[in-house]
Structure 1
């Protein structure tokens, strides 16, 4: 299976700048982008609550799909997260994908009442959380599943979300990549944390895990978060003119199997997102 290539924009959940998140989400929606991603750092003083903000933005837009990048599992128990995501999906007409992460910034999580975990515990908990969320979305009358960190015992789930609602993992390490290939519907790496030199190896790990699990690697959504700037002169990867962006993104689709891109401008957000939507995206689509 070859998935269509999707394009999106990141919207920072800042509250001190008035309607900035709304302006950027509406801009993405009107410019024909497919996705809007929103960071989920509940302990960050400068940020709105991500789920509240996404619901607000969904009510003020028409077609764009929202993705938390990524939902903070240590502060959002998976059964409740599944309930919130299913409700969002039903109320918005299928305009959500559940980005999910194992957790980071553990001191801040602990300060907010969350449980600190080491790397192994965090990955184990994420794998269990995926199972709990799947069970909550199953449409069955009563479900039981889980393990050491998370479980549900005879819960009656609902509402049942649309088949389009998936789980996209923010994954980098070998075990996380294996879970992505075996259990997830999508993958959300960022250029900042996974450079072009290591992207191919990570994709191969996901695809190998998918094959071992009897899944089609081509059916896994692979979305690369690109921080950079569209500028007249080249200054490195995703720091250059439209033509350079088009060449690099097209190569990532053809050579690395990526099938989605979300732009995180380093500055000058509204103008940069406009150039991305009106010049870069159409040229990439034509090239492909």
Structure 2
């Protein structure tokens, strides 16, 4: 059982390649034979290299016996929700109750518009998704009196006939990362379905917390919302077990386009995860990199006073842990040589204002982490070919790909400017204040300032790599390497800075607006 009390389930995420349709169906049949619970396919209707997802789900359901099928996730801007409701219910009836429904608010709006869809802003897309879920559920509710009605701004029903009723209660899972979407999950969805490669350390915990708050505010039990996760085939069983126990993940969907990988996942990884979770194992192994917390730490790496109490327990604000995961080919920071401040004494107390100051630094850092996740997501989707000049948009020319590159470049420029501004404030105001108030912090402050220079250089390399990529659109190696270096440097630095400075900021004081 997971931390939300859910039974463990396991599935596969298969690329719906039109170039080898028989192989795609065969992979789904292999998952069925190996005893997996779920087969899913991404949905990009504007991608000419992909089979139509709903047609593929129907064929797979007909050629398998027990495995459930689901889109991962359905592109609602190009699929009217009333038609989706009838299609899902019909397939559920025909398959004997083996359908789940993953939904998304939409992405790659150039491709959507090229297919005749309407471009929506971020807020409009979230509203449209919530209205779509209301439409789908209204049509499934055959016991309600009268025709189905939904008075939405994007999606409406004006007395539509209800039905057919699905063969079982179809779970509605939502792919979500940002706060408004996570709130939607908590209010109306049956499951949260993100992808691990697009998450940063702490995102699952933070996402769960936001979903749980929204669910409770709506009078729902957070345990009624299943937590699903798309994962790479290289994630070890111990890590999956940790995610189940610590982050409540109840369904793991492995991204695999190879029969041997599916067999290995089903026969080796799945039993190991079940065993570890049942035994209470699967805790995160110690990071290979140097710990982000002070060298004087005990136990979990949190500084303690003479009485054994964590200063961050007394403060009530917890810095972000560094899990040691690195993506760049080589280390960019000498983490082992970082100096650390001495812990504060047990006599230290903190004011409400001090706690807010410490919390504000983490909030600013969380914004930078989210922005970095979006940057990596945009690059990953460009590389995946979900929008391309040659095959994602049959009616458009190469300008489409250039537009997608422009989006990546513009986002990076905005993100890098935010990072530079934040670091400039630290170097020019916060750091001198802390050293003046507590000279013993000088080695840590000097090291943080040096690391700002490393991150500054990493940002410039991302800019230079983007210029290179614009003139070499088929070459992603340099931009990927540059963003990987920025990722490692920034995430490691932010965690180190929080462990060293949140407590002094709370104790010594500083106006939150200047952090």
* Residue in structure 1 matched with residue 196 of structure 2 by the alignment: 191
Task: After superposing the two structures, state which structure 1 stretch, 214-223 or 168-177, moved more.
Answer: 214-223
Residues 1:159 and 2:193 aligned together: no
3-state DSSP class of the match of 2:197?
coil
* Residue in structure 2 matched with residue 224 of structure 1 by the alignment: 229
Residues 1:207 and 2:212 aligned together: yes
Residue of 39, 47, 51 corresponding to 1:36: 39
Alignment of 1:16-55 (within 5 A): 16-55=19-58
Residues 1:247 and 2:238 aligned together: yes
Residues 1:278 and 2:267 aligned together: yes
* Residue in structure 1 matched with residue 152 of structure 2 by the alignment: 147
* Residue in structure 2 matched with residue 242 of structure 1 by the alignment: none
Alignment of 1:62-211 (within 5 A): 62-139=65-142, 140=144, 141-211=146-216
> Does the CA contact (< 8 Å) of 1:177 and 1:206 recur in 2?
yes
* Residue in structure 2 matched with residue 269 of structure 1 by the alignment: 258
Distance 2:87 2:134 in 1: 16
Task: After superposing the two structures, state which structure 1 stretch, 268-277 or 29-38, moved more.
Answer: 268-277
Distance 1:18 1:78 in 2: 26
> Does the CA contact (< 8 Å) of 2:233 and 2:261 recur in 1?
no
Give unpaired runs (5+ residues) of structure 1: 230-237, 239-244
Deviation of the 1:82 alpha carbon: 0.7
* Residue in structure 2 matched with residue 6 of structure 1 by the alignment: 9
* Residue in structure 2 matched with residue 56 of structure 1 by the alignment: 59
Distance 1:195 1:273 in 2: 26
Structure ranking higher on relative contact order (CA contacts 8 Å, 6+ apart)? 1
Distance 1:58 1:195 in 2: 34
> Does the CA contact (< 8 Å) of 1:129 and 1:146 recur in 2?
no
> Does the CA contact (< 8 Å) of 2:53 and 2:71 recur in 1?
yes
Deviation of the 1:228 alpha carbon: 4.1
The runs of at least 4 consecutive aligned structure 1 residues that moved more than 3 Å come to none
Which string of whole-angstrom CA distances, capped at 9 and with x for unpartnered residues, describes residues 214-246 of structure 1? 1111121111000243xxxxxxxx2xxxxxx11
3-state DSSP class of the match of 1:129?
helix
> Does the CA contact (< 8 Å) of 1:131 and 1:146 recur in 2?
no
> Does the CA contact (< 8 Å) of 2:92 and 2:168 recur in 1?
no
- Point out the structure with the larger strand share: 1
Task: After superposing the two structures, state which structure 1 stretch, 162-171 or 60-69, moved more.
Answer: 162-171
Residues 1:257 and 2:212 aligned together: no
> Does the CA contact (< 8 Å) of 1:102 and 1:126 recur in 2?
yes
Give unpaired runs (5+ residues) of structure 2: 278-515
> Does the CA contact (< 8 Å) of 2:15 and 2:42 recur in 1?
yes
Task: After superposing the two structures, state which structure 1 stretch, 175-184 or 195-204, moved more.
Answer: 195-204
3-state DSSP class of the match of 2:196?
coil
> Does the CA contact (< 8 Å) of 2:233 and 2:265 recur in 1?
no
3-state DSSP class of the match of 1:17?
helix
Distance 1:221 1:137 in 2: 20
- Point out the structure with the larger helix share: 2
Deviation of the 1:166 alpha carbon: 1.6
3-state DSSP class of the match of 2:274?
helix
Distance 1:25 1:273 in 2: 9
